[in-house]
A and B are shown apart, each in its own frame.
Chain A
Amino acid sequence: NAGVTQTPKFRVLKTGQSMTLLCAQDMNHEYMYWYRQDPGMGLRLIHYSVGEGTTAKGEVPDGYNVSRLKKQNFLLGLESAAPSQTSVYFCASSYFTGTQYFGPGTRLTVL
């Protein structure tokens, strides 16, 4: 039981490039989330999903898109990366409760 995993762990992009972050969970959780954390700050919710095929916007959705084609996967896409998107990205999942389980994070730098 791996819990929540994230791919990749690190990435460096140039401004304007695109990329997709992958989150996978093996706990059969319904809900999945993408957060970002900037240095010295708390986590902010980007997008979330309450089930396969559904997504919704969080606090800071601009510049990001998501998809939940399979229950166990939640993808976060950056269509045209900007330096303001330099951050650590965390994925989380939960089973109808507030107990969210987090992945190890993806450290993204946009030059």
Chain B
Amino acid sequence: DAKTTQPTSMDCAEGRAANLPCNHSTISGNEYVYWYRQIHSQGPQYIIHGLKNNETNEMASLIITEDRKSSTLILPHATLRDTAVYYCIVRVGEMAAGNKLTFGGGTRVLVKP
């Protein structure tokens, strides 16, 4: 699986959009970009994933560059409950051996009032 690079930490104002970048310059054509988050002391929570196209769900939007070497997770209206560590993960698609997720250091996001 391709390696990812994320900022160690970032702050965001409550009610504003939070834009979380992720670099994955060695991504392969069959690798997806996944985003998870982990709120303190809880299990990781799935947010969104995509292959080529931009994706949106009730939690967030995922913007993937045309060359797929980087992506941005957007939380449209950050709340205090969005304070968490956000992980960008790149992995091979469905039916891959073990379907394993490799978690790196992630970005620690602090939403401030």
Which residues of A line the B interface, CB within 8 A? 4, 31, 33, 35, 41-45, 48, 50, 56, 58, 90, 92, 94, 96-105
What residues of A have a CB within 8 angstroms of the CB of B46 in the complex? 99-101
Q: Is the CB of A58 within 8 A of B100?
A: yes
Q: Is the CB of B43 within 8 A of A105?
A: yes
Given A98-B101, A100-B101, A43-B94 contact (CB < 8 Å): no
Q: Is the CB of B34 within 8 A of A96?
A: no
Q: Which of A42, A96, A104 contacts B95 (CB 8 A)?
A: A96
A81 vs chain B, min Cβ distance (A): 22
What residues of A have a CB within 8 angstroms of the CB of B49 in the complex? 98-99
Q: Is the CB of A98 within 8 A of B43?
A: no
B10 vs chain A, min Cβ distance (A): 17
Which residues of B line the A interface, CB within 8 A? 32, 34, 41-46, 49, 87, 91, 93-95, 97-106
What residues of B have a CB within 8 angstroms of the CB of A99 in the complex? 34, 46, 49
Q: Is the CB of A31 within 8 A of B98?
A: yes
Pair count A-B, CB < 8 A: 64
A34 to B30, CA, bound (A): 25
Q: Is the CB of A45 within 8 A of B100?
A: yes
What residues of A have a CB within 8 angstroms of the CB of B45 in the complex? 102
Q: Is the CB of B100 within 8 A of A42?
A: no
What residues of A have a CB within 8 angstroms of the CB of B44 in the complex? 43, 90, 92, 100, 102
Q: Is the CB of B43 within 8 A of A42?
A: no
A64 to B40, CA, bound (A): 26
Q: Is the CB of A98 within 8 A of B41?
A: no
Q: Is the CB of B104 within 8 A of A31?
A: no
